[in-house]
Structure 1
Amino acid sequence: MPTWTGAWSEAEAESYLAEATVPIRLACRTPAGGLWMLSLWYRYEDGTLHCATGADADIVRYLDATPDVAFEISDNRPPYKGVRGAGTATIEPDEDKALLERLLIRYLDGTDNELATWLLDAGREEVRIRIEPSKLYTWDFTERMADVTTEE
Protein backbone atom coordinates (compact mmCIF):
# COMPACT_ATOMS: atom_id res chain seq x y z
CA MET A 1 0.00 0.00 0.00
CA PRO A 2 1.38 3.42 -0.89
CA THR A 3 1.79 6.22 1.61
CA TRP A 4 -0.59 9.15 0.93
CA THR A 5 0.20 12.67 2.16
CA GLY A 6 -0.88 16.17 1.22
CA ALA A 7 -4.03 18.22 0.74
CA TRP A 8 -6.49 15.45 -0.15
CA SER A 9 -7.78 12.31 1.45
CA GLU A 10 -6.98 9.04 -0.29
CA ALA A 11 -10.55 8.92 -1.66
CA GLU A 12 -10.27 12.46 -3.07
CA ALA A 13 -6.92 11.66 -4.66
CA GLU A 14 -8.18 8.43 -6.20
CA SER A 15 -11.19 10.27 -7.59
CA TYR A 16 -8.90 12.88 -9.17
CA LEU A 17 -6.67 10.18 -10.70
CA ALA A 18 -9.67 8.35 -12.12
CA GLU A 19 -11.27 11.47 -13.63
CA ALA A 20 -8.37 13.70 -14.76
CA THR A 21 -7.55 13.47 -18.46
CA VAL A 22 -4.15 15.08 -18.43
CA PRO A 23 -1.08 12.99 -19.24
CA ILE A 24 1.14 11.53 -16.57
CA ARG A 25 4.63 13.01 -16.56
CA LEU A 26 6.88 10.04 -15.96
CA ALA A 27 10.54 10.28 -14.92
CA CYS A 28 13.13 7.50 -14.81
CA ARG A 29 16.84 6.82 -15.21
CA THR A 30 18.52 5.88 -18.46
CA PRO A 31 20.86 2.86 -18.48
CA ALA A 32 23.78 5.33 -18.50
CA GLY A 33 22.45 6.91 -15.28
CA GLY A 34 20.99 10.05 -16.83
CA LEU A 35 17.48 11.35 -16.21
CA TRP A 36 14.57 10.95 -18.65
CA MET A 37 11.05 12.34 -18.57
CA LEU A 38 8.09 11.90 -20.88
CA SER A 39 4.33 12.33 -20.94
CA LEU A 40 1.98 9.40 -21.48
CA TRP A 41 -1.73 8.78 -21.28
CA TYR A 42 -2.72 6.78 -18.22
CA ARG A 43 -5.56 4.99 -16.45
CA TYR A 44 -5.84 4.60 -12.71
CA GLU A 45 -7.37 1.36 -11.47
CA ASP A 46 -6.96 -0.82 -8.41
CA GLY A 47 -4.34 1.49 -6.89
CA THR A 48 -2.02 1.36 -9.91
CA LEU A 49 -1.33 3.54 -12.94
CA HIS A 50 -1.42 1.98 -16.40
CA CYS A 51 0.17 3.47 -19.54
CA ALA A 52 0.69 2.19 -23.07
CA THR A 53 3.50 2.80 -25.50
CA GLY A 54 5.21 1.24 -28.49
CA ALA A 55 7.39 -1.76 -27.65
CA ASP A 56 10.36 -0.06 -29.33
CA ALA A 57 10.09 3.19 -27.31
CA ASP A 58 13.21 4.26 -25.38
CA ILE A 59 11.26 4.28 -22.11
CA VAL A 60 10.74 0.51 -22.38
CA ARG A 61 14.50 -0.12 -22.47
CA TYR A 62 15.07 2.37 -19.66
CA LEU A 63 12.47 0.80 -17.37
CA ASP A 64 13.80 -2.68 -18.12
CA ALA A 65 17.19 -1.50 -16.81
CA THR A 66 15.88 0.47 -13.80
CA PRO A 67 12.18 0.20 -12.90
CA ASP A 68 12.13 3.02 -10.32
CA VAL A 69 10.06 6.02 -11.43
CA ALA A 70 8.74 9.36 -10.26
CA PHE A 71 5.60 10.89 -11.72
CA GLU A 72 3.21 13.82 -11.65
CA ILE A 73 -0.39 14.10 -12.76
CA SER A 74 -1.56 17.69 -12.48
CA ASP A 75 -3.82 20.31 -13.98
CA ASN A 76 -2.21 22.45 -16.64
CA ARG A 77 -4.24 25.56 -15.81
CA PRO A 78 -4.77 27.49 -12.58
CA PRO A 79 -5.73 26.79 -9.95
CA TYR A 80 -3.05 24.09 -9.89
CA LYS A 81 -3.67 20.77 -8.18
CA GLY A 82 -2.64 17.17 -8.62
CA VAL A 83 -0.80 14.09 -7.47
CA ARG A 84 2.90 13.31 -7.59
CA GLY A 85 4.75 10.30 -6.38
CA ALA A 86 7.26 7.53 -6.80
CA GLY A 87 6.97 3.85 -7.51
CA THR A 88 8.07 0.87 -9.54
CA ALA A 89 7.20 0.13 -13.16
CA THR A 90 6.74 -3.22 -14.83
CA ILE A 91 6.29 -3.86 -18.54
CA GLU A 92 4.21 -6.50 -20.27
CA PRO A 93 2.84 -6.96 -23.79
CA ASP A 94 -0.46 -5.34 -24.77
CA GLU A 95 -0.97 -7.90 -27.53
CA ASP A 96 -4.63 -7.17 -28.13
CA LYS A 97 -4.04 -3.42 -27.59
CA ALA A 98 -6.94 -3.38 -25.12
CA LEU A 99 -5.27 -0.84 -22.83
CA LEU A 100 -4.31 1.38 -25.76
CA GLU A 101 -7.87 1.30 -27.06
CA ARG A 102 -9.25 2.26 -23.62
CA LEU A 103 -6.76 5.14 -23.47
CA LEU A 104 -7.80 6.37 -26.93
CA ILE A 105 -11.42 6.37 -25.81
CA ARG A 106 -10.52 8.13 -22.53
CA TYR A 107 -8.40 10.88 -24.11
CA LEU A 108 -9.81 11.24 -27.64
CA ASP A 109 -13.42 10.08 -27.10
CA GLY A 110 -12.99 7.20 -29.50
CA THR A 111 -10.91 5.47 -32.12
CA ASP A 112 -12.38 7.09 -35.24
CA ASN A 113 -9.35 9.24 -36.06
CA GLU A 114 -6.03 8.98 -37.91
CA LEU A 115 -3.94 8.74 -34.75
CA ALA A 116 -5.96 5.79 -33.47
CA THR A 117 -5.78 4.06 -36.84
CA TRP A 118 -1.99 4.42 -36.82
CA LEU A 119 -1.58 3.34 -33.17
CA LEU A 120 -3.93 0.35 -33.48
CA ASP A 121 -2.31 -0.94 -36.69
CA ALA A 122 -1.83 -4.72 -36.44
CA GLY A 123 1.85 -4.40 -37.36
CA ARG A 124 2.63 -2.10 -34.43
CA GLU A 125 3.73 -3.83 -31.22
CA GLU A 126 2.38 -2.26 -28.03
CA VAL A 127 3.30 -2.71 -24.34
CA ARG A 128 1.67 -1.84 -21.03
CA ILE A 129 3.57 0.06 -18.35
CA ARG A 130 2.15 -0.70 -14.91
CA ILE A 131 3.24 1.68 -12.14
CA GLU A 132 2.87 0.50 -8.56
CA PRO A 133 3.06 3.68 -6.44
CA SER A 134 4.96 3.56 -3.15
CA LYS A 135 4.56 7.23 -2.17
CA LEU A 136 1.89 9.71 -3.23
CA TYR A 137 1.60 13.40 -2.42
CA THR A 138 -1.34 15.63 -3.31
CA TRP A 139 -1.58 19.39 -3.56
CA ASP A 140 -4.40 21.79 -4.31
CA PHE A 141 -3.86 25.54 -4.74
CA THR A 142 -7.56 26.26 -5.34
CA GLU A 143 -7.91 28.29 -2.16
CA ARG A 144 -4.71 30.32 -2.55
CA MET A 145 -5.49 30.97 -6.23
CA ALA A 146 -9.18 31.78 -5.71
CA ASP A 147 -8.91 35.06 -7.62
CA VAL A 148 -7.26 33.43 -10.63
CA THR A 149 -9.51 32.36 -13.47
CA THR A 150 -8.69 30.73 -16.77
CA GLU A 151 -10.59 30.72 -20.01
CA GLU A 152 -11.53 27.26 -21.30
Structure 2
Amino acid sequence: MPVSDFRGAWSEPEVETFFQETTIPIRLATQRPDGSLWLVTLWYRYREGTLECATGANAALVRFLRDDPAVAFEVSTNDVPYRGVRGNGTATLAPDADKTVLRALLERYLGGTDSELAAWLLDDDRKEVRIRIEPHELYSWDYSERMTDSSDNDDT
Protein backbone atom coordinates (compact mmCIF):
# COMPACT_ATOMS: atom_id res chain seq x y z
CA MET A 1 0.00 0.00 0.00
CA PRO A 2 1.70 3.28 -1.08
CA VAL A 3 0.74 5.24 2.04
CA SER A 4 2.99 7.99 3.41
CA ASP A 5 1.18 8.31 6.77
CA PHE A 6 -0.35 5.22 8.37
CA ARG A 7 -1.84 5.36 11.88
CA GLY A 8 -4.53 3.84 14.03
CA ALA A 9 -5.74 0.61 15.54
CA TRP A 10 -4.82 -1.78 12.73
CA SER A 11 -1.69 -2.85 10.90
CA GLU A 12 -1.45 -2.41 7.14
CA PRO A 13 -2.40 -6.07 6.51
CA GLU A 14 -5.44 -5.64 8.78
CA VAL A 15 -6.52 -2.53 6.86
CA GLU A 16 -6.09 -4.40 3.56
CA THR A 17 -8.22 -7.27 4.91
CA PHE A 18 -10.90 -4.81 6.05
CA PHE A 19 -10.99 -3.19 2.60
CA GLN A 20 -11.13 -6.57 0.85
CA GLU A 21 -13.76 -8.16 3.08
CA THR A 22 -16.03 -5.23 3.90
CA THR A 23 -18.81 -4.45 1.45
CA ILE A 24 -19.79 -1.13 2.95
CA PRO A 25 -19.75 1.67 0.35
CA ILE A 26 -17.01 4.27 0.50
CA ARG A 27 -17.85 7.87 1.31
CA LEU A 28 -15.79 10.06 -1.00
CA ALA A 29 -15.31 13.79 -0.51
CA THR A 30 -13.96 16.26 -3.04
CA GLN A 31 -14.20 19.96 -3.82
CA ARG A 32 -16.46 21.60 -6.32
CA PRO A 33 -15.00 24.32 -8.58
CA ASP A 34 -16.41 27.01 -6.26
CA GLY A 35 -14.40 25.53 -3.35
CA SER A 36 -17.37 24.04 -1.53
CA LEU A 37 -17.24 20.40 -0.51
CA TRP A 38 -19.03 17.51 -2.23
CA LEU A 39 -19.64 14.08 -0.67
CA VAL A 40 -20.79 10.95 -2.50
CA THR A 41 -21.24 7.33 -1.57
CA LEU A 42 -19.94 4.74 -4.03
CA TRP A 43 -19.22 1.05 -4.23
CA TYR A 44 -15.51 0.29 -4.16
CA ARG A 45 -13.03 -2.54 -4.38
CA TYR A 46 -9.52 -2.75 -3.01
CA ARG A 47 -6.97 -3.59 -5.68
CA GLU A 48 -3.17 -3.42 -5.65
CA GLY A 49 -2.98 -0.85 -2.87
CA THR A 50 -5.68 1.39 -4.34
CA LEU A 51 -9.42 1.81 -4.00
CA GLU A 52 -11.40 1.61 -7.24
CA CYS A 53 -14.90 2.91 -7.88
CA ALA A 54 -17.02 3.37 -10.98
CA THR A 55 -19.55 6.01 -11.91
CA GLY A 56 -21.30 7.40 -14.95
CA ALA A 57 -19.10 9.47 -17.23
CA ASN A 58 -21.50 12.42 -16.99
CA ALA A 59 -21.60 12.47 -13.15
CA ALA A 60 -20.83 15.76 -11.42
CA LEU A 61 -18.18 13.91 -9.41
CA VAL A 62 -16.20 13.22 -12.60
CA ARG A 63 -16.17 16.93 -13.47
CA PHE A 64 -15.09 17.85 -9.94
CA LEU A 65 -12.26 15.29 -9.90
CA ARG A 66 -10.99 16.53 -13.25
CA ASP A 67 -10.66 20.00 -11.72
CA ASP A 68 -9.15 18.79 -8.43
CA PRO A 69 -8.12 15.14 -7.91
CA ALA A 70 -7.58 15.49 -4.13
CA VAL A 71 -10.06 13.40 -2.13
CA ALA A 72 -10.86 12.34 1.40
CA PHE A 73 -12.68 9.09 2.10
CA GLU A 74 -14.11 6.83 4.76
CA VAL A 75 -15.17 3.19 4.87
CA SER A 76 -16.81 2.51 8.23
CA THR A 77 -19.43 0.32 9.81
CA ASN A 78 -22.82 1.80 10.54
CA ASP A 79 -23.61 -0.57 13.40
CA VAL A 80 -22.05 -1.01 16.82
CA PRO A 81 -19.20 -1.70 17.35
CA TYR A 82 -17.93 1.09 15.12
CA ARG A 83 -14.76 0.47 13.14
CA GLY A 84 -13.29 1.61 9.87
CA VAL A 85 -10.67 3.45 7.89
CA ARG A 86 -10.53 7.08 6.80
CA GLY A 87 -7.93 8.89 4.82
CA ASN A 88 -7.04 11.10 1.90
CA GLY A 89 -5.38 10.63 -1.43
CA THR A 90 -5.42 11.37 -5.12
CA ALA A 91 -8.02 10.17 -7.61
CA THR A 92 -7.28 9.37 -11.23
CA LEU A 93 -9.94 8.88 -13.86
CA ALA A 94 -9.98 6.53 -16.84
CA PRO A 95 -12.70 5.20 -19.11
CA ASP A 96 -14.21 1.89 -18.02
CA ALA A 97 -15.24 1.19 -21.62
CA ASP A 98 -15.75 -2.55 -21.16
CA LYS A 99 -17.18 -1.92 -17.67
CA THR A 100 -14.68 -4.24 -16.00
CA VAL A 101 -14.66 -2.29 -12.74
CA LEU A 102 -18.43 -1.86 -12.76
CA ARG A 103 -18.97 -5.61 -13.32
CA ALA A 104 -16.59 -6.42 -10.46
CA LEU A 105 -18.50 -4.02 -8.19
CA LEU A 106 -21.85 -5.55 -9.16
CA GLU A 107 -20.46 -8.98 -8.26
CA ARG A 108 -19.05 -7.68 -4.99
CA TYR A 109 -22.13 -5.80 -3.78
CA LEU A 110 -25.06 -7.56 -5.48
CA GLY A 111 -23.59 -11.02 -5.98
CA GLY A 112 -24.01 -10.87 -9.75
CA THR A 113 -25.39 -8.99 -12.72
CA ASP A 114 -28.88 -10.53 -12.82
CA SER A 115 -30.92 -7.57 -11.61
CA GLU A 116 -32.71 -4.58 -13.09
CA LEU A 117 -30.15 -2.28 -11.51
CA ALA A 118 -27.27 -4.22 -13.08
CA ALA A 119 -28.97 -4.23 -16.47
CA TRP A 120 -29.48 -0.46 -16.27
CA LEU A 121 -25.88 0.19 -15.21
CA LEU A 122 -24.47 -2.16 -17.87
CA ASP A 123 -26.56 -0.72 -20.70
CA ASP A 124 -24.43 -0.25 -23.83
CA ASP A 125 -25.44 3.42 -24.08
CA ARG A 126 -24.20 4.23 -20.57
CA LYS A 127 -20.59 5.45 -20.46
CA GLU A 128 -18.68 4.49 -17.34
CA VAL A 129 -15.57 5.93 -15.67
CA ARG A 130 -13.15 4.18 -13.31
CA ILE A 131 -12.03 6.21 -10.31
CA ARG A 132 -8.79 4.94 -8.79
CA ILE A 133 -7.84 6.39 -5.42
CA GLU A 134 -4.24 6.19 -4.31
CA PRO A 135 -4.23 6.71 -0.53
CA HIS A 136 -1.65 9.06 0.99
CA GLU A 137 -2.83 8.98 4.61
CA LEU A 138 -4.83 6.27 6.38
CA TYR A 139 -6.22 6.18 9.89
CA SER A 140 -8.00 3.09 11.23
CA TRP A 141 -10.16 2.77 14.31
CA ASP A 142 -11.89 -0.12 16.03
CA TYR A 143 -14.14 0.42 19.04
CA SER A 144 -15.00 -3.28 19.40
CA GLU A 145 -13.43 -3.65 22.85
CA ARG A 146 -14.92 -0.52 24.37
CA MET A 147 -18.36 -1.13 22.84
CA THR A 148 -18.68 -4.84 23.64
CA ASP A 149 -21.64 -4.39 25.97
CA SER A 150 -23.25 -1.87 23.57
CA SER A 151 -23.51 -4.45 20.80
CA ASP A 152 -25.25 -7.08 22.94
CA ASN A 153 -28.99 -7.22 22.37
CA ASP A 154 -30.87 -7.49 25.64
CA ASP A 155 -34.49 -8.24 24.79
CA THR A 156 -35.70 -8.75 28.37
TM-score > 0.5 by shorter chain: yes
Q: Tell me, in whole angstroms, the C-alpha distance in 1 between the residues paired with 2:107 and 2:150.
A: 31
Q: Tell me, in whole angstroms, the C-alpha distance in 2 between the residues paired with 1:91 and 1:105.
A: 21
Counterpart in the other structure of 2:124: 122
Give the Å deviation of 1:123: 0.4
* Residue identity in the other structure for 1:20: T
Give the Å deviation of 1:150: 6.5
Counterpart in the other structure of 2:8: 6
Unaligned runs of 5+ in 2: none
Moved segments of 4+, more than 6 Å: none
* Residue identity in the other structure for 2:26: I
Deviation sequence 1:75-118 (CA, Å, 0-9, x none): 11110000000000010000000110010000000100000000
Equivalent residue runs for 1:59-74 within 5 Å: 59-74=61-76
Among candidates 143, 149, 152, match of residue 141 of structure 1: 143
What's the C-alpha RMSD, in Å, of the aligned pairs? 0.9
SS state of the match for residue 118, structure 1?
A: helix
* Residue identity in the other structure for 2:149: D
SS state of the match for residue 103, structure 1?
A: helix
Among candidates 83, 93, 96, match of residue 81 of structure 1: 83
Give the Å deviation of 1:149: 2.0
Q: Tell me, in whole angstroms, the C-alpha distance in 1 between the residues paired with 2:92 and 2:38.
A: 17
Q: Tell me, in whole angstroms, the C-alpha distance in 1 between the residues paired with 2:124 and 2:152.
A: 41
Q: Tell me, in whole angstroms, the C-alpha distance in 2 between the residues paired with 1:38 and 1:72.
A: 11
Paired residues, number = 151
SS state of the match for residue 150, structure 2?
A: coil
Q: Tell me, in whole angstroms, the C-alpha distance in 2 between the residues paired with 1:4 and 1:19.
A: 20
TM-score, normalized by length of structure 2?
A: 0.95
SS state of the match for residue 147, structure 1?
A: helix
**Contact 1:21–1:107 (CA<8 Å) still a contact in 2?**
yes
**Contact 1:41–1:107 (CA<8 Å) still a contact in 2?**
yes
**Contact 1:78–1:150 (CA<8 Å) still a contact in 2?**
no
Taking only the aligned residue pairs, the percentage that are identical comes to 59
2:112 corresponds to 1:110: yes
Q: Tell me, in whole angstroms, the C-alpha distance in 1 between the residues paired with 2:16 and 2:148.
A: 23
